[in-house]
Amino acid sequence: MEHLIDIFTFDPRNPLIFTRLYFWIFFAIVLALYSVVYKRKSLRHGYLFAISLFFYYKTSGMYFSLLIFSTLVDYFIGHGIYKARSELNKKILVGMSIFVNLFVLSYFKYSYFYIDSVNSLFGTDLKVVNHFAELANLFTDSHFDTSRIILPVGISFFTFQTISYSIDVFRNKIRPVNSIIDFGFYVSFFPQLVAGPIVRASEFIPQLYKEYKVTKHDFGYATFLIMQGLVKKMFISDYISVNFIDRIFENPLSFTGFENLMALYGYSLQVYVDFSGYTDIAIGVALLLGFRLPKNFNSPYKSQHVGEFWKRWHISLSTWLKDYLYVPLGGNRKSSLFTYISTAIVIVAIGLFFNWIAGLILLLVMASLLIFRIKHHTNLNLMLTMLLGGLWHGANWQFVIWGGLNGIGLVVYKYWKKISPFDGVNSWIVRFYAIFLTFNFISFTRIWFRAQSMDSANGMMYQISNDFEFALIPQMIVSYKYVFGVMLFGFVVHWLSVRIKDWYKDSYINAPAWAKVIIATIVVFIIYQARTAELQPFIYFQF
């Protein structure tokens, strides 16, 4: 009886995630029951909505109530926008949707950030109070800790989905969903709920009204993606993280510059295989249920410039920022009043709160763009989008620095392209150099993305610049041979040509069932041998 209770209660030490055997038992049961209800759309959607809420409860506990809250708010606002007769009323309602969603997101994600910044600036000693926990204790006689605010898993992802829904209804791109169950299912669909991809209503909702259809090819592709994602996460990401990367970033001054540099390259690999691995599994699981999720990665380290990188990396977020932030700011055409107001706020914030060296650099760049706004106004939109995109990743100025550096990279490339003697040159040497340069720049910016503090980031840069220890490199390669071997495997597979990747993917999909079983067994054995003793959550769960 006690074990049965454990199955249906939240345990923060045992969340329901893709890398646990518990999830795959759960999913097998879900599929078995799904085979009974999938032909009746209303029953199918209600069933998957309930399963998705349970999944989120097992991942985030009582925070699943936030998911219900977001669903209710945007469902009724969406209908209100559609029925409103005046343009003003429509704008008020869509503004309400944006405000409510961003308020909830900001409260849970940025409260410590705001309080720490105010305390640092004014010398105060303000404390964070969890008012939601206070209300829960008041009305339910619970005993939640009111002195801490815990970030609900995936809140950034489902918040962006509900915002895009209201905006798309406002823009007349979609009609509001009639059934609140259908809308709740769209918002909470469990494969992509906690780490994306960010699915737009216009892409997903039409699928709700189609008959379930999974072909033999679809089944093969889905299982291929699931196995590929598990290998990425558990064989590559977790192994190099636990055995090398985490140790270096925890105390970079205790390791040589070579080790720090290899940890930086390793983290670029880790964050890619970890996040794209989750996406592969999510797309595969969704496809088995009859739903198609958008592609989220396209070999980003093959990019020849920063602009191309952001078209290949976290595609659902990049396109979301472009359509719902960059374009409203004015895009490539102009800068709006909102652009200048936001830029002024960013510049003041940078000057007040940043590490002064990094802040001064970004302050000068932003101020220069503002001064020359007539000629270079679109760069303001670009920089502001990247700075806010950095802040989306976390409530920390290091993420803003990371976003700002990527924004600078995009702006610099725009001007370099106009004078580059290599633009349009189709030579493997030019391509190799461009890919090498882009990869190193992206890896360099990740110092601030991954480092635990500014001191840690500065320490890593110092070690790489001043304490490389060239004479010890052969010895270190031998010492870390297994870690470097796994890293080499990950990079080689990533840089394989599309033709080779399609070949082994199609070979698996077209293989007979007995061959698929053998391949799956081998993959499971490899993953089992490589698994780490402690749970390693997906990196993007924290965003």
Q: What is residue 77's predicted lDDT score, i.e. its pLDDT? A: 92
Q: Are 290 and 212 spatial neighbours (Cβ–Cβ below 8 Å)?
A: yes
Are 12 and 143 members of one domain?
Answer: yes
The pLDDT tens digits of the residues spanning 45-60 come to 999 999 998 888 888 7
Are 73 and 183 members of one domain?
Answer: yes
Residue 392 lies in a domain: yes
Instruction: Count the domains in the chain.
Output: 3
3-state SS, 457-507, equals: HHHHHHHHHHCCCHHHHHHHHHHCHHHHHHHHHHHHHHCCCHHHHHHHHHH
At 72, the amino acid letter reads L
Q: Are 249 and 460 spatial neighbours (Cβ–Cβ below 8 Å)?
A: yes
DSSP 372: T
Cα separation, 294 vs 316, whole angstroms: 8
Q: Please say if 393 is a catalytic residue.
A: yes
Are 184 and 251 members of one domain?
Answer: no
Residue 431 lies in a domain: no
Residue 437 lies in a domain: no
Catalytic residue among 45, 79, 305, 393: 393
Are 269 and 335 members of one domain?
Answer: no
Task: Identify the domain boundary among 419, 439, 472.
Answer: 419
Buried b (16+ CB within 10 A) or exposed e, 70-96: bbebbbebbbbbeebeeeeebeebbeb
Beta carbons within 8 Å of 237's beta carbon, 6+ residues apart? 270, 273, 274, 277, 536, 539
Residue 426 lies in a domain: no
Residue 114 lies in a domain: yes
Domain that holds residue 77: 2-212
Are 68 and 169 members of one domain?
Answer: yes
Residue 445 lies in a domain: no
CB-CB neighbours of 332 under 10 Å: 10
Are 219 and 289 members of one domain?
Answer: yes
Residue 123 gets the label, from left (phi > 0), alpha (psi -120 to 50) or beta, of left
Residue 312 lies in a domain: yes
Beta carbons within 8 Å of 125's beta carbon, 6+ residues apart? 119
Are 324 and 353 members of one domain?
Answer: yes
Are 540 and 479 members of one domain?
Answer: yes
CA 98 to chain centre: 20
Are 39 and 93 members of one domain?
Answer: yes
DSSP string, 268-287: HHHHHHHHHHHHHHHHHHHH
Over its length of 543 residues, how does the chain's per-residue pLDDT go in tens digits?
555 555 666 666 677 788 788 888 889 999 999 988 888 888 999 999 999 988 888 887 777 888 888 899 999 999 999 988 888 888 889 889 988 888 888 888 887 777 877 777 777 877 777 777 777 677 666 666 777 777 777 888 888 889 999 999 998 888 898 889 999 999 888 888 877 788 888 888 888 888 888 899 999 999 999 999 999 998 899 899 988 999 999 999 989 999 999 999 999 999 999 999 999 999 999 999 999 998 999 999 999 999 899 999 989 888 888 888 777 766 566 655 555 555 555 555 555 455 445 555 555 555 555 555 445 566 777 887 888 888 888 777 788 888 888 988 888 888 888 777 777 777 888 889 989 999 999 999 999 988 888 889 889 998 898 888 888 889 999 999 999 999 999 999 999 999 999 999 999 999 999 998 998 898 888 887 777 656 666 666 666
Are 104 and 231 members of one domain?
Answer: no
Model pTM score: 0.88
Task: Identify the domain boundary among 167, 195, 212.
Answer: 212
Q: Omega of the bond prior to 328 within 30 degrees of 0, cis?
A: no
Residue 440 lies in a domain: no
Task: Identify the domain boundary among 419, 437, 470.
Answer: 419
Are 101 and 78 members of one domain?
Answer: yes
The pLDDT tens digits of the residues spanning 438-457 come to 999 999 999 998 888 888 98
Are 305 and 401 members of one domain?
Answer: yes
Cα-based distances in Å from 18 to 269, 276, 277: 20, 13, 10
